[in-house]
A and B are shown apart, each in its own frame.
Chain A
Amino acid sequence: MNLATQGFLGEYFLGMTMAQATLVENVAMGWGHVLSQQLITGVSNGMIIALIAIGYTMVYGIIELINFAHGDLCTLGSFLALTLVGALGMEAWAGLGGTAAVVTLLISAALFCAVLNWSIDRVAYRPLRGKPKLALLVSAIGCSFILINIALFWGGLPMEVFGGGKAAAAPKDFPSLISNENLLGAHSAITVTWRDLFVVMVTIPLMIGLTWLVKSTRLGKAMRAVAQNPTAAALMGIDVNRVIGSTFLIGGALGGFASVIYALYNNTISFQMGYRTGMDAFTAAVLGGIGSLPGAVVGGIVIGLVRALSDGYIEARWTNSVVFAILILTLVFRPSGILGAKLREKV
């Protein structure tokens, strides 16, 4: 049972037996079970949002840019993954092959997104360093639009998995390479699947690795120095452009991982999904305190939970508005976020 069947679709497909059974089951389960189910879904989705949010928060921390293109970068990551699935026939890889398929997808999407993110910085952002921040933001919006259009064209590939070149704009089905079987037994009231575990098993090591990188390596030290004061960092002999470039590489790689996890978890991707996911992730970054890595993780999980609860208890059609309302309220009343340090406007 995923997010969709619980809220939105659950209401509209009342006539269908499957959904009916689910609904009856929900009622029989009682509100406690429904709630715990939503919490599980919420945390899984929240982890994905957190991974993307880290990309936003790292870039913001270092050059004060809301990297608008980050969400759409993840879209391209998912499209690459789907292309690989189709080209290598991964749906047929069984057993250990399935694991190999997932690992291949994760690594290739991460590499792809890292390089792409670095190139975007090199081409579109780096020439604008030292210019007003709004020029940079406008350029980032432009990059986002270019990536959306690339994804749209990509969706028109004449491959089986892409619907054979028909309806490029339509959402694409992502084959479920990870089993959706309930680990607690088929009759258990609460569903925990391999997918939920997979999300947690991939994201937590990545976050630990990132924390180590930022806290304990030379590069991480340089990143923190540049974030604090680029001029002083440059005077101390740090190659600021290289450090910023590596930030984009790392953020892009995490976005690439997130894109594959997203596709495997939700089983559907579309060329515009980066905009919504990106806004969720950005909201998470702001909520947690932009510039703060633990903040991004906490914010991501909170937003994941809010989405799941809003789907379940308000209505799915209002969920996006709820997230945007959180974003606006946070910015207006507590721009430093939950975990962020008290920000001082740099004059």
Chain B
Amino acid sequence: MSATPVWKKFMRIDVALLILACLLALVNRRLGLEMVDPMRGVMVFAILALGLNIVTGFTGLLHLGMAAFMAIGAYAFAISSCDIYPFQLGFWWGILFTAIVGAFAGVLLGAPTLGLRGDYLAIVTLGFGEITQDVLKNMDVITKGTQGINPLPAPYVPWWSDGGLIIFEFASDQELPWYWLFLGFVVVAVVVCRNLERSRTGRSWLAVREDQLAAQCMGMAPVPVKMIAFATGAALAAVAGGLWASMYSSTGEPGNYDFQISILALCIVIVGGMGSINGVLVGSIAMIGIANIALPKIAGAMQNAGWIVSGSVFGSPNNWKYLVFGLVLVLMMRFRPDGLLPAKLSLVSAKKKNQVESTP
């Protein structure tokens, strides 16, 4: 086996995507691409999907309530940092607090339920997502009900301005600082996920996914292992929620964090390839690209061409989202269950060997 040349180590999809993202920021205004704004959404959802990837991809637990953790994150961030509450931690401490609350919520959901079998666990997470929305909506004394909490503080960083070091606070109309900040968060999340995957914890996740019985025989306790996965995934989702809320300076109404968001995250992971970090990155570009960039463009073009009337059902790009997500799920499961960039050890193909599972 020959040693890998140094340059080959950098021929990686994630590095390539990072370089592309940096280039995009530099050429965006010059070429009039208007891609920076939608890319921020891509990056927030990439963080959310990285969280789901830990739960569903690495540990093999189908999770249908990721949006709930995003909502919990958004509201935790809002309550810890908004002026109308006594805490006012500011952006960075607020995000840290958000991650902790997210992890705690993950443990809270996981503790009683992680012993359940796969499909039941999926339904429980779905129910948790619905209850979270209802609670946020109905506890209006704290959460302001459907109005959402606002305004929220913007991030601040020390910056070298002419004359000296200043504290630079982001304004909501400046797109680029947010872009770089979110890119930084994605890079950190990817590095964390990669290291976790190779760690003792990560290997036990894969072990539990591949064969829980064998893992148990090796002395692993599956419930704590799954619990760590749940907590980590929830923390990442909560951070995504906090960033999202901070960007809009509002949590928005609780109904925004609905089942469709959870399924969008699931689509990202499935399109990319369950358990593949590069896959999640590509998947989020593909899915959010379709949902938030391509669909509006197509709808606009079709209206200009006179194929659809602007007021009709077909005119609004939002009305196509369910169809797109649904088709993605059905077609991927049918024709490419391992995703576009399959992980080396994938959930579906590994289970294929275990035909015992499906027969009694």
Contact = CB atoms under 8 A, between A and B. Distances in A.
B356 A347 contact: yes
Interface in B109-125: 112-113, 116-120, 122-124
B127 A327 contact: yes
Nearest to B212: A347
Nearest to B137: A317
A13 interface: no
Interface string B19-38: 00000000000000000000
A124 interface: yes
B156 interface: no
Contacts of B351: 131-132
A149 B339 CA distance: 24
B122 A144 contact: no
A143 B328 CA distance: 10
B347 to A, nearest CB: 7
B124 A146 contact: no
A89 interface: no
Given A133-B118, A145-B329, A328 B322 contact: no
A143 B330 contact: yes
B174 interface: no
Contact of B327 (A144, A146, A231): A146
B330 A142 contact: yes
Contacts of B322: 145-146, 148-149, 152
Interface string B129-164: 011001101100000000000000000000000000
A127 interface: yes
B contacts with A: majority SS? helix
B314 interface: yes
Given A137-B122, A139-B329, A149-B326, A168 B334 contact: no
A137 B348 CA distance: 13
A335 B116 contact: yes
Contact of A156 (B127, B312, B333, B356): B312
A contacts with B: majority SS? helix
A346 to B, nearest CB: 5
B355 interface: yes
A176 B332 CA distance: 43
A328 B360 CA distance: 26
In the complex, which range does the number of interface residues on chain B fall in? 35 or more
Contacts of B334: 124, 127-128, 139
Interface string B293-333: 00000000000000000011110000111110111111101
B118 A279 contact: no
B242 to A, nearest CB: 24
B340 interface: no
B266 to A, nearest CB: 7
Nearest to A343: B117
A312 B170 CA distance: 49
A18 to B, nearest CB: 26
A282 interface: yes
Interface in A168-215: 168-169
Contacts of A332: 112-113, 116, 124
Interface string B333-360: 1100100000000011001100111111
Given A130-B355, A145-B326, A149-B326, A135 B134 contact: no
A147 B134 CA distance: 25
B329 A141 contact: yes
Nearest to A271: B322
Contacts of B333: 128, 135-136, 138-139, 142
Contacts of A66: 119, 122-123
A229 interface: yes
A156 B358 contact: no
Nearest to B125: A328
A97 interface: no
Name the residue among B122, B213, B328, B330 with the largest chain A CB count within 10 angstroms: B330
A230 B120 CA distance: 22
A146 B113 contact: no
B39 to A, nearest CB: 25
A25 B330 CA distance: 52
A335 B360 CA distance: 19
B352 A345 contact: no
Contacts of A169: 319
B62 interface: yes
B103 to A, nearest CB: 20
A168 to B, nearest CB: 4
B326 A142 contact: yes
Interface string B238-271: 0000000000000000000001000100100010
B128 interface: yes
Interface of B: 60, 62, 64, 112-113, 116-120, 122-124, 127-128, 130-131, 134-135, 137-138, 213, 259, 263, 266, 270, 311-314, 319-323, 325-331, 333-334, 337, 347-348, 351-352, 355-360
20 contacts: A124-B334, A128-B333, A132-B357, A134-B118, A134-B119, A141-B326, A143-B326, A145-B325, A146-B326, A146-B327, A147-B326, A153-B319, A165-B313, A168-B319, A230-B359, A318-B134, A321-B135, A324-B130, A332-B113, A347-B213
Given A142-B331, A149-B322, 4 more contacts: A124-B334, A141-B263, A282-B123, A321-B138
Query: 5 tightest CB-CB pairs across the interface, nearest first?
Result: A142-B329, A145-B326, A156-B313, A146-B326, A149-B323
